Amino acid sequence: MTAEAPPATGLIDARGLARVAPWLVLIGGVLALQLAFGSRVGFPAALDTFFSDPVDAMGAWIRSNRRSHPVMTGFFTPLTNAIDGVISGFETVLLWLPWYSVVAAAFLVPARVRMWRAGLIAAGALLYTGLIGLWEPTMETLALMSTAVLIAVAIGVPLGVWGALRPRVEKVMRPILDAMQTIPAFVYFLPLLGFFGVGAVNAAVATVIYALAPVVRLTTLGIRQVPPQTVEASKVFGSTRGQILRKVQIPIALPTILTGLTQTIMMALGIVVLAALIGAGGLGENVFQSLSQRRTGRGIAAGLAIVAVAMVLERIWRSLAVLDPMQRTPRKWRLYGLAGLFAVTLAGRIIGSVDFPDVWNLTLFDPIDQVVVWARDNLSWLTRPVNDFLVAGIIVPVRDFLTESAAWPILIFVTGWAMWKVKGWRLAWFGAASVAMIGLIGLWELSINTLVQVVTATLISVAIAIPIGIWAGRKPRIEAAMGPILDALQTIPSLVYIIPVVILFTVGVVPGIIASVLYAIVPGIRITALGIRQVPEESVEASRTFGATPRQTMLGVRIPLAGPTIMTAVNQVIMMVLAMVIIAGFVGGGGLGFETIRALTRSDFGLGFEVGLALVLMAMILDRYTQAWGDRLQPPSAV
């Protein structure tokens, strides 16, 4: 009896070949391209289409026709004047009122709905800004942020409601909102200069565009989460569609909408500092001054003042959204409060007691500078090796390899291959075309320089955030203890981080990377912890039943099931690192960040367009790639 050949051998070989084939294609493609194009490593200058020339021409046309063309005089000029009027009105009123009237109002608005703690926090935050001598710039920043948030709410809530009631509208808005959140905030400044000029109006419009998405998304989510039976009950009682929306859906969705508003206020914080680049003034100017003078303490003081403005706005808006009449204080007490506020305001104006008295100033924080200088002088044994390792061991070799050794088509091919491997041909063509477009606009080497810095900061952030997030997700006490630290890292303007880092590590790419890491680990930790907490307990219990150790349960159950959420955390880390590109440009990081600053300071529309397009393409490539990995990690749905 003869032995039969194993029938599965051919099948195994076919499967093995299918697994190996993509990697063979990758290796073969890289070798072929290197042999064919190895002598021309840089992107050919002949292929640079110089998009800047037509954009410069358009910018020149806008500048020369800004006061005469009907589109400008009939739309943009009135809109600019209207927004400027609102900002100036807020600022004039805030500076006209005696300082104690503003503090009292910050307390009374939340107190009218029994939000005593919120009122005390808002009043205390304003008092802090006055005590350190920043009352006037704080009022300027408060006026700017109030206007931006007001416009964002006026536009975002109706759009969110419309998207919730009309799924097709929401489908159309989704990619637009994705782009608005993906594009780094500072990219908006330069194109808006031609239409709105230099100053607070440009900053307000850029803030609205950048921070609008959370209000729209969470309003849509909140309306859709209203229980259908509640809506049906309203219909049974004869309510019209408008009555259902005003009296049922919006009140029930209000907590979710307020969450979106809070996110909008937090996102507006980043614009406030950068807005000083285009003449918006306010607290951002104080932060920039502290950076140029390398005064860490004064930078922290001004940064905390910006946080105080955000706290005031968040508490006031949250109190204004309380619709329950049972939560309001008695009417007579509200009248007493208004009468008292009017009386002290009138008395203050009559006796001339309006300005905040000189108590302290920013020199109160100067001892922090001494601590940073001591750390610089005594920790060089640590900071210098870290700096040398990051620069000489990672940044420079990788950058030089990609720009001087590897042929330029290789990066296009590898990007397309990686995206094909994760999600197919459509994403592959998008990735390859996007990388090629970066070369076509003449920013190949600068973009690679920025890409290396972004990837380095992302890898460090992920290496820190994911383990800590997993630990916090398993230990609620640890997460609670880290809460204040994470809140501080998320709310203090990112430019403040970089001041002590520059002193410790000197000017260069390292301060930008470290500041990016500090800024980006917060969403990484929080979203990872959320994913670990949301793993179904029945899955964990099942693994324990089969004798899995805690380590096996973590590696085999918790982390795989939390995989999509963890990839969302990685995605957010990348977006936060990209948002710090311009900050790195301030301290010698070079790349696209420095070119952005150069374009802004020179009002160079063409360069600004090219840099903005390169950053947007880079952000979209990384965003789509990590989203695709997140989709792949989703568990199969039950049929």
Q: What domain range is 611 assigned to?
A: 379-401+444-632
312 and 251 within one domain: yes
Tokens linked to 67: 């006061």
107 and 233 within one domain: yes
335 and 392 within one domain: no
pTM strictly above 0.85: no
Tokens linked to 392: 């000489």
| Number of C-beta neighbours around residue 255 at 10 A | 13
Which region among 227-231, 338-342, 616-620 has the lowest average model confidence (pLDDT)? 227-231
Any alpha helices (H) in 424-556, and if so which ranges? 425-440, 444-474, 476-491, 494-505, 509-533, 537-545, 550-553
Return the pLDDT at 566.
85
Tokens linked to 348: 């203050």
450 and 358 within one domain: no
Return the pLDDT at 62.
79
Whether residue 5 is predicted with pLDDT greater than 60 in this model: the reply is no
Work out the angle at residue 461's Cα, subtended by the Cα atoms of residues 274 and 483, and round it to the nearest 5 degrees.
80
What domain count does the chain have? 2
Q: Answer yes or no: is 576 within a domain.
A: yes
359 and 217 within one domain: yes
Q: Which residues contact 605 (CB under 8 A, 6 or more apart)?
A: 52, 55, 56, 58, 59, 60, 190, 191, 193, 194, 599
Q: In which region does residue 406 sit, left (phi positive, over 0), alpha (psi from -120 to 50) or beta (all else)?
A: beta
Query: In this structure, what CATH number is given to the domain that contains residue 169?
Result: 1.10.3720.10
390 and 357 within one domain: no
496 pLDDT tier (thresholds 50, 70, 90): confident
- Report the amino acid identity of residue 188: Y
386 and 243 within one domain: no
Whether residue 638 is predicted with pLDDT greater than 50 in this model: the reply is no
Q: Which residues contact 506 (CB under 8 A, 6 or more apart)?
A: 387
Q: Answer yes or no: is 120 within a domain.
A: yes
Return the pLDDT at 210.
81
Distance between CA atoms of 456 and 62, rounded to whole angstroms?
39
Q: What are phi and psi of 354, to 5 degrees?
A: -120, -50
333 and 461 within one domain: no
Q: Answer yes or no: is 12 within a domain.
A: no
Average pLDDT over the chain, rounded to whole? 83
The residue out of 364, 388, 415 marking a domain boundary is 364
Q: Answer yes or no: is 606 within a domain.
A: yes
Distance between CA atoms of 372 and 424, rounded to whole angstroms?
50
324 and 225 within one domain: yes
Q: Answer yes or no: is 315 within a domain.
A: yes
Return the pLDDT at 605.
79
Asked if 540 contacts 550 with a C-beta cutoff of 8 angstroms, the reply is: no
Q: Which pLDDT tens digit goes with each residue over 192-237?
A: 877 887 788 888 888 888 888 888 888 888 888 788 888 788 877 7
Return the pLDDT at 465.
92
Nearest to residue 474, comparing CAs of 547, 553, 543? 553
Q: Which pLDDT tens digit goes with each residue over 236-291?
A: 777 777 888 877 888 888 877 877 777 788 777 777 777 777 777 788 888 888 87
Return the pLDDT at 50.
65
Averaged pLDDT, 395-424: 90
Q: Which residues contact 77 (CB under 8 A, 6 or more apart)?
A: 66, 67
510 and 390 within one domain: yes
- Report the amino acid identity of residue 510: V
472 and 346 within one domain: no
Return the pLDDT at 41.
63
The residue out of 304, 339, 364 marking a domain boundary is 364
Q: Answer yes or no: is 424 within a domain.
A: no
The residue out of 364, 393, 426 marking a domain boundary is 364
Q: What are phi and psi of 618, to 5 degrees?
A: -60, -45
395 and 276 within one domain: no
Return the pLDDT at 173.
86
Residue 602: DSSP 8-state: H
Which residue is it, tokens 């090219």? 610
Q: Answer yes or no: is 52 within a domain.
A: no
Return the pLDDT at 39.
67
104 pLDDT tier (thresholds 50, 70, 90): very high
Asked if 606 contacts 59 with a C-beta cutoff of 8 angstroms, the reply is: yes
Which region among 132-146, 318-332, 517-531 has the lowest average model confidence (pLDDT)? 318-332
Reduced to 3 states, what is the DSSP secondary structure of residue 592? helix
10-25 burial, b at 16+ Cβ within 10 Å, e below that, comes to eeeeeeeeeeeeeeee
Nearest to residue 458, comparing CAs of 406, 523, 396? 523
Distance between CA atoms of 624 and 635, rounded to whole angstroms?
19
Please give the residue that has the higher pLDDT: either 38 or 518: 518
Nearest to residue 573, comparing CAs of 412, 456, 470, 488? 456
Return the pLDDT at 635.
64
Return the pLDDT at 639.
38
Q: In which region does residue 353 sit, left (phi positive, over 0), alpha (psi from -120 to 50) or beta (all else)?
A: beta
Q: Answer yes or no: is 32 within a domain.
A: no
Whether residue 96 is predicted with pLDDT greater than 80 in this model: the reply is yes
